[in-house]
Amino acid sequence: MGWNVFKRVVLGVVLATPLALGALWAYHEAESLYRDAQSVRSGNVVASLPDVADPNVPRTTTRAAEPQVSFSPTPNFIEPTAPLGPESYHETPAGGSQILLIDQQSDARGDTLLMYSRIVARTTSSLTLSDISQIRISLDPVVQSLEIHEVRLTRDGEILDATQDVSVDFLRQEDALQQGYFLGQVVALLRIPGVRANDVVDVSYSVRHDNPVIGNRHSESRFFSSFLEVENYHFRSLWPRRGVEVVTIPEDFGIVRTDEGRTTEFRYGPGTLPMSAPIQLLPPWRVAVPMFIATRFSDWNEVANWAEPYYQPQVTEAIQGIADDIRNEHPTRPEQIAAALRYVQREVSYFAILLGEGGYVPLGPDQTLRYAEGDCKAVTLLLISILSAMGIEADAALVSANAGRGIDALPPSPLAFDHVIVRVGHNGQSYWLDATLPEQAGRLTTLTQPDYGFALIVDAQTPGLTNMSRDPVERPLIELSESFRILSIGPNARAEAELTLELRGPMADDSRYTMDQAGEAAIRQSFANTYNNRFEGVFDSASLEILDDRERNILIYHWEGEVELIDFGDDDQVIPTYAFGVHAAAPFVVLAPIGNRELPLMMPYPYFARQTTRVEWPEDAGFLRPADAQYDIWSPTFRISSDIRPELNSATLIAESRVLAPELMPDEFERADAAMRQEELSYRVMVLGGDISTSDRDRLMAGSFLSAQ
């Protein structure tokens, strides 16, 4: 998409609640939520749905997802950490509650990954008792289980053991079904009875991760920040000394590494956990808070080798039949590749069941065809299998739709990826095919290809990551040509108009998708609304032609007819004022404030738009001739230009807006801010005759047909 702005998943959002302390119980689970959100695009935790033996029983994941909870002693590897004592108590803590300790420790040395949490908190108000007496713990019930260690209350100096009194209920809440995701997560609601004001609650538990697909090649990520300041935070993680790869961002934020015997220990604190807040349009491949990532995968080749068995082509009878049909209809290899992609995009709906050990194992092609739905893994394997049946070699490619441009700075792990696509080679060139997208138009060479930054090709020979990045597009993705021949001047002035809007590549794909979802009538009305904002009367949308050149992947909107011009001049002005603005090539490509900003800003990349507006007037109306004006700002990230070229009885306005890189760096902020504030931006409105107000200029530069879509 030209204006595809990825939504950054900000760790700790669960902490930003009116009762912030209650949400802090979920501090450890917030990191799981982050990983779950990273997995949403692909279904990185999708369970297999085998055919059921009893035809009267529908397929379901419920039987495989019974949550497991038990009491167990505190694990032997835990190193005790003291909570804050009475000398550190706040007399009036914010919100009526105070965190005395968050202790997180993990052990990745064995066959299972054990993640321990201890939270100690006090409340001074009966109004906030639920904050510390109801704990929410997020679980994937197929591969995770909950172990409760100790629950203690300290009341008037006496310690009360409440471990056996707690109750645990499991809640399900599916918020993403409309987007095609079944998360499958459960929330373990641990309730502690009898908590009173001024009690100190001390709870410890562990989540045991046991995923046979991963085995003992564990990965762990931690973000060291919160929306509230935590005065006493402790982190400790144990790994095999000769089998761990680690990245900390930044390198020196306070993690201490100790190697002893066969164990490597990473430690932070006890100390303060810094506060942080969301940063508008921060590129998701940029980490704004301290981060720790560890994995037992040694390199990217090992990750590729681990994934390779899951993406071996499966050429069944059904797959061979599909391949034969495609080959009979399309004689050349490029045509066959494009046709296979479109078949999968057209015939399989996206739906991901984000649950269980099957999260890394795609459904078989026959199952995907039977159910006519699947996640990215399923449609990738289906497409690879169809191509293989035609004798075309293709590979799966692991990518991240969010943080892909920064994966090269992370340690090797499957958790680095949240999506999978197909890489196919032809004539020495790689083509990237995303079968989860709506049906695409174009030949193989004109298909819109995704750019996720880096990809890991799933092949035993893969030495490392492959850079997917491409040069900025050379032809406009949006090109609007407007031609107006003024027929009369004065009251009810009219002009003969011809309007042609060409959308190419991803813009054409997006517009087709919008048309499929909203209907052609809505698209026509949107186009009419754009020009009703610029001319008097009602724009005739019925005569709008929509031409779809699917082979070249170009969608064309064309309209011809007469329009009634608006006189933008004041009532006492002697000569009329007509104006034509740039509304297709948006000048405002910097989409968030950059004053006092210290981190990069995400840009709408790729974006390249051009508008050419030509106006002719009668020979006796030379007073309409506009002034010659040029405006051109350039930076390594974007370029905005406009040029008003008057001639004898005509004038042409040519404007371009182009984004050249996916992020704007801080060293460009000052120049970019000055450029975007310059009065010369007004040159993007061509004024004939008198002058117009600032509000009218803004009106003519806003509300385009594209933004309405």
What are the residue ranges in the chain where pLDDT is below 50? 1-52
CATH number of the domain enclosing 35: 2.60.40.3140
Instruction: Report yes or no on 241 lying in a domain.
Output: yes
Residue that finishes a domain, picked among 296, 323, 355: 296
Residue 561 included in any domain: yes
User: Looking at 409, 441, 467, which one is the last position of a domain?
Assistant: 467
Q: Give the domain CATH number at 609.
A: 2.60.120.1130
The residue among 416, 436, 467 that closes a domain is 467
One domain for residues 250 and 397: no
Q: State the residue range of the domain holding 253.
A: 13-296
Q: Cα–Cα distance between 403 and 133 in angstroms, integer?
A: 37
What is the DSSP secondary-structure string of 300-342?
Answer: HHHHHHHHGGGG-----HHHHHHHHHHHHH--SHHHHHHHHHH
CATH number of the domain encompassing residue 355: 3.10.620.30
In a domain, 8, yes or no: no
pLDDT at position 29 is 33
The pLDDT of residue 36 is 35
**Are both 501 and 433 inside the same structural domain?**
no
Residues 418 and 498 placed together within one structural domain of the fold: no
Report yes or no on 268 lying in a domain.
yes
Q: Is 345 in the same domain as 407?
A: yes
Nearest 5 degrees, angle CA 424-CA 388-CA 437?
A: 50
State which amino acid sits at residue 73. Answer: P
Residue 183 belongs to a domain: yes
515 belongs to a structural domain: yes
Sign of CA dihedral 182, 113, 456, 316: negative
Shortest CA distance to 351 belongs to which of 371, 323, 327, 325? 371
| Residue 5 located in a structural domain | no
Quick: pLDDT tens for 628-642. Answer: 888 888 888 999 999
**What CA–CA distance (Å, rounded) separates 510 from 478?**
12
* pLDDT (0 to 100) of residue 680: 54
Q: Provide φ and ψ at 436, rounded to 5°.
A: -85, -10
Half-sphere exposure of 154 (CA within 13 A, CB side): 13
289 shares a domain with 318: no
Q: Of 348, 343, 663, 709, whose CA–CA distance to 507 is shortest?
A: 709
Quick check: pTM over 0.85? yes
b/e code 430-450 from CB counts within 10 Å (16+ = b): ebbbbbbbebbbbebebbbbb
Nearest to 361 by CA among 417, 315, 309: 309
557 within some domain? yes
Same domain, 64 and 179: yes
What local confidence, expressed as pLDDT, does residue 324 receive?
97
- Cα separation, 128 vs 133, whole angstroms: 9
Q: Are residues 629 and 493 in the same domain?
A: yes
The total domain count for the chain is 3
* Average pLDDT along the chain: 85
Per-residue model confidence (pLDDT) at position 555 = 96
What pLDDT does residue 21 have? 33
Residues 636 and 511 placed together within one structural domain of the fold: yes
Give the model's pLDDT for residue 681: 62
User: Within this chain, do residues 575 and 693 fall inside the same structural domain, yes or no?
Assistant: yes
- The b/e string for 70-100 (b: 16+ C-beta within 10 A; e otherwise) is eeeeebebbeebebbeeeeeeeebebbbbbb
Which phi and psi (to 5°) does residue 195 adopt? -70, 135
Question: Are 532 and 495 part of one and the same domain?
Answer: yes
Rg (Cα) of the chain, in Å, rounded?
A: 30
Spatial CA neighbour of 589 closest among 652, 534, 662: 662
**Residue tagged 């020196």 (tokens):** 252
**Does one domain contain both 29 and 149?**
yes
Q: In this structure, are 192 and 48 located in the same domain?
A: yes
Are 210 and 232 in contact by the 8 Å Cβ rule? The answer is no
DSSP, collapsed to helix, strand or coil, labels residue 701 as coil
